[in-house]
Amino acid sequence: MKSAATRFQALWEVLEPPNPKGIPAPSDMREQLMTAYGFPRGDQGIDNSRESAEEERNFAMACLRGEGGTEGQFLWESNNLTSVLASEIGLLPPPADNDSPMRPWFGGDWASMAELVIYIADNQLSSITRPFGRTPTELIRVYPIEWDTAARTQLNLLEARIKLGTRGHKDILLQNKDAKKLGHGQPSRKPTESEWISLCVPIDKLYLISNQLPEGPQSGIPANLWDFIPSGEPGDEVT
Amino acid sequence: MRIESQSLPSYLKSQGVSWDVSNTKEEWKKILMFPDEDWTIDRGSAYGGYIDSQEQTILDPSRVLARMLCVKIDRALRLKVEKLAIKCIQGLRKEGSYRQVAFEEKQIPFSWILRIAHDGDADSWDPGDFLVYAKLEGGDELKPDIEEIRSIFPKLFDGKDLETSGVRNDSVRAITDVFNENYPLFLERPTLHISAPKFHKVWSKMIGDEDKERTEEGEKAKRQWSMRVNGLFEKLCRNSSSDSVMLQSGGGHVLLLAPATDIKAYSEDLLRKMRQKFVKELGGWAPLLYASWEDDGVAHWKPLTRKTPDEIIRALSTEYDSPSEEKKRGIAGVHWAAFKYGQDGKTDDEISEAIKEGRDEDARFYLDVIGLGEYCWPKPQDPSVDNGIGELSGGPNDWPDPSDWGVPSRPRAKAISGFKNSRKITPVIESTFGLIFAKHRPSHIEAMGGDEMIFQMPSSEWKLLLERVEKHCIQLHSTIFDNDQRLLWWAICLRDRSNQDFTAMKDGVRTLMGEDRVRLTRFVNPIFPEFLVPDDPVDDVLPDDPVDDNGWLMDHRARVLPESTNRCPYSLTHSLVGPDEDGDFYCGDCNVWLGPVFECPDCGLDGEFYCEECDEFMFPDTSCPDCGSAFGDWILEETLHCHECQKEYYGTLWRIPPEDQS
């Protein structure tokens, strides 16, 4: 599997194409989105056929209707975006050699992923060229991070710099949380030793949390609504 | 109006409550003591055409918002309460008391102290004093709530000082005194956990016929009972325990501060009284009742004698269909209409239209809390310390009498912790149900029990429903519910299906989504009905099903598995139970008979199959579809391997008679 940073970049470019004037080909978007989620896991290629796009669309639409697909679509790897959607739902088993749990980039917001899958499939099936209309910061919940250890740590707050792909960064405050015990004789890992964090909402929707807090964003994201990813290698747990 | 604790005062005002000064104080006392299931406000003449339904208690928003406020107060005052408790314990130590006080006992909800005080003397504390105390000692979190109460119920605060902090403030001093006087009583007296447990299992055992349960009448009766049991249980418990303080009630569980007496004899007597009242109220029957205290407990159960299961079903089903019950279910929507508040959620217009597929018929929606029992009342890690019977296997007729199920007992600290958890999650559940009423206006409510709601609304609202519940949960986790985010709700949308038992499905999904496999930051976990239908495995691997010597088709139901996944074809499990005394294996998850004796534990003979229908011995005389080699060696490792090519298969064999082969 490619590195988490590479996969994050691939996802970002699906949602915010580098060339703002042109919309990438559906096959390119499909390939990038599958790369972002660590597919294909084996040697098989990606199926960019029309039939495959129809299957993707039908599966995503059925999920949005509340019907869903078959066990096979949810549980077994395929060579198209049904596996990406199944990963976001959380049912597709992790790769056999994974030591860590998977963390889908949208945090399990499968409905948004279904819409993205439909968008890509429609682009192929109907040759439409409209933009997707939703940005990475409206959807992604797992981000690379830098900790500002020199900054304030009073009031039990941590200051973090979220790296936003091509958009620079955003500084946020987080209420501190305990170190994680990793087990198997490994030492605990503190939040500030991690290089990726997972939020309960995308960056652009942090207001849903901060609007509830007495001092807004200055109160920090409550510790129960964010998590640091403790793996040794950055992004081991990502997707 | 938003569904949050700050809306409580304005909601009360909007309902036209005609409280004078005295009423106002009494009602606010009830609010601050974490209102019971049956607390509802007198809506007076402003209640329009619903005046006959005044007594309804189904999801009254005033109770839901009041409980949200109490939980918010708990959270804001947590450190303060702990400090007061420690100081109090130190004082008791100086007086010679050396009782060990658990951490959970130091962080009790303030409302328990208020209830103990109120029980001793109804005028021992003033709600205005407590609100001032909460504002000054609870930090910024509570200020907006208290200010809102003051703006709408100013008389509560007459003569109160809202500025001076600490003991120089009369209100702070008064409430501190209330704590100091009553906390020792809490420590001195035993706590008693009363419950009407195992709702589903007791119902099944009592009816004793699964087919009868599944009839329309049977399902209605169970729904009616699920909506009625908690309020009735609480009322009868209160009426039977006047010498105890009811510290908290909700969800079919009551925590009593019992008198310092022989707790076992007291509990047995209490359950006996409760049963008598149930029998009187229900016309001849009562649910299973438990009482447990520090590491011990008693149960009370008697089999049906005066009523038949048919009579119980008929009575409850008739009650369910009665106009007054129909109105009660409907009126919840009227109450929650004030919380519609704006428009949220968005779906691409084209996708929205495609989802509707030109029709937008009502579907049946299920929403229920994931693992509520385990969250509040977790099983002990060491089963030997649990008196409970554990999991019941087989059907209701195989189960022992409920009086033999054993009462799971807990240390006092664990019981307190369970009630605190219950108290936190109850407003989360109830306000989410309220959200559905407010935002979706279901056309029909089928059931609304402790952790489950079944309702009908247009199927196209599935996605919006999920988005709204997600947003609501985020807001609650930011304010009143401080547990870590987790998958909290199962959600199901059923079109044209009546299948209602998703137990095996849920268990399977739970296994697949274990924390060791995937971490998700959403709150709602969908269950897709189509997922219940396994893929047709025959198409995948075996182009020509072999025929045995008698012309019977050997339907393999086998397919090549990706990776090395082994599982039951009808479930999501990876576990296998068996062999039993007949050498058969069963799915560890859904208990489906898997048929094959992979390897006889005695003689080592492997590869035997039995017909699912007639139990006739069948030998696996077919061959590997991949390499053509005979399936001679079936290797037990929860997987079938071809001995030649080592490909893996799972499955059972059915023999299909020639006349049934299509």
Closest-CA residue of B relative to A229 is: B519
Chain centroid to Cα A219, Å, comes to 25
Residue type, B473: C
Structure tokens at B364: 């049946």
**What is the rounded distance in angstroms from the CA atom of residue B477 to the CA atom of residue B246?**
28
Chain A closest-CA separation from residue B533 CA (Å): 7
Question: Which of A66, A200, A237 lies nearest to residue B485, judging by beta carbons?
Answer: A200
- Running DSSP on this structure, what letter comes out for residue A103? B
Residue B198, in any domain of the structure: no
Contacts of A104 in chain B (CB under 8 A): 518, 520
Query: What pLDDT was estimated at residue A199?
Result: 96
Last residue within a domain, chosen from B492, B515, B531: B531
Percentage of residues in chain B having pLDDT higher than 90 = 46
Percentage of residues in chain B having pLDDT higher than 70 = 73
Q: Are B291 and B417 contained in the same domain?
A: yes
Q: Are B517 and B618 contained in the same domain?
A: no
pLDDT band at B569 (very low <50, low <70, confident <90, very high): very low
DSSP bridge pairs for B454: B366, B447
Query: What pLDDT was estimated at residue B450?
Result: 78
Q: Are B300 and B325 contained in the same domain?
A: yes
Chain B closest-CA separation from residue A188 CA (Å): 17
Structure tokens at B486: 């987790």
Q: Are B562 and B653 contained in the same domain?
A: yes
Query: What pLDDT was estimated at residue A193?
Result: 80
Residue B197, in any domain of the structure: no
pLDDT band at B598 (very low <50, low <70, confident <90, very high): very low
pLDDT band at B358 (very low <50, low <70, confident <90, very high): low
Mean pLDDT of B31-38: 92
**What is the rounded distance in angstroms from the CA atom of residue B197 to the CA atom of residue B253?**
8
Last residue within a domain, chosen from B473, B506, B531: B531
Query: What pLDDT was estimated at residue B236?
Result: 95
- Running DSSP on this structure, what letter comes out for residue A201? S
Q: Are B220 and B342 contained in the same domain?
A: yes
Give the number of domains in chain B: 3
Q: Are B500 and B605 contained in the same domain?
A: no
User: Does the pLDDT of residue B141 top 60, yes or no?
Assistant: yes
Query: What pLDDT was estimated at residue B361?
Result: 82
Tell me if A212 and B475 make a contact (CB, 8 A cut-off). Answer: yes
Mean pLDDT of B163-180: 95
Q: Are B241 and B184 contained in the same domain?
A: no
pLDDT tens figures, B418-453: 999 999 999 999 999 999 999 998 988 887 877 889
pLDDT tens figures, B369-421: 999 988 898 876 655 555 555 567 777 888 888 888 888 888 999 999 999 99
Q: Which range, B169-183, B565-579, B641-655, has the best average confidence (pLDDT)?
A: B169-183
Q: Are B624 and B493 contained in the same domain?
A: no
User: Does the pLDDT of residue B137 top 70, yes or no?
Assistant: yes
Chain centroid to Cα B186, Å, comes to 28
**What is the rounded distance in angstroms from the CA atom of residue B162 to the CA atom of residue B133?**
9
Q: Are B69 and B212 contained in the same domain?
A: no
Cα-based distances in Å from B328 to A55, B35, B116, B334, B367 = 45, 20, 33, 10, 20
Name the residue with higher pLDDT: A130 or B535.
A130
Residue B441, in any domain of the structure: yes
Contacts of A66 in chain B (CB under 8 A): 363, 459, 462, 492-495, 526, 528-529
Residue B200, in any domain of the structure: no
- Running DSSP on this structure, what letter comes out for residue B19? -
Tell me if B355 and A200 make a contact (CB, 8 A cut-off). Answer: no
Q: Are B365 and B501 contained in the same domain?
A: yes
Closest-CA residue of A relative to B559 is: A72
**What is the rounded distance in angstroms from the CA atom of residue B530 to the CA atom of residue B525?**
15
Query: What pLDDT was estimated at residue A155?
Result: 59
For chain A, positions 162-221, list CB contacts with chain B under 8 A.
Answer: 198-201, 208-209, 212-215
Residue B52, in any domain of the structure: yes
Residue B199, in any domain of the structure: no
| A208-213 contact pairs (CB < 8 A, 24+) | A208/B471, A208/B474, A208/B475, A208/B478, A209/B474, A209/B475, A209/B478, A212/B475, A212/B478, A212/B479, A213/B478
Q: Are B22 and B54 contained in the same domain?
A: yes
pLDDT tens figures, A133-165: 899 999 999 999 998 766 655 658 899 999 998
Weakest mean pLDDT among B90-104, B177-191, B481-495, B645-659: B645-659
Weakest mean pLDDT among B80-89, B255-264, B506-515: B506-515
User: Does the pLDDT of residue B531 top 70, yes or no?
Assistant: no
A104 close to B (CB below 8 A): yes
Q: Are B243 and B100 contained in the same domain?
A: no
Chain A closest-CA separation from residue B535 CA (Å): 6
Contacts of A99 in chain B (CB under 8 A): none
Chain B closest-CA separation from residue A110 CA (Å): 9
Contacts of B492 in chain A (CB under 8 A): 66
Contacts of B2 in chain A (CB under 8 A): none
Question: Which of B144, B478, B483 lies nearest to residue A209, judging by beta carbons?
Answer: B478
User: Does the pLDDT of residue B18 top 80, yes or no?
Assistant: no
Last residue within a domain, chosen from B131, B153, B188: B188
Enclosing domain of residue B23? 5-188
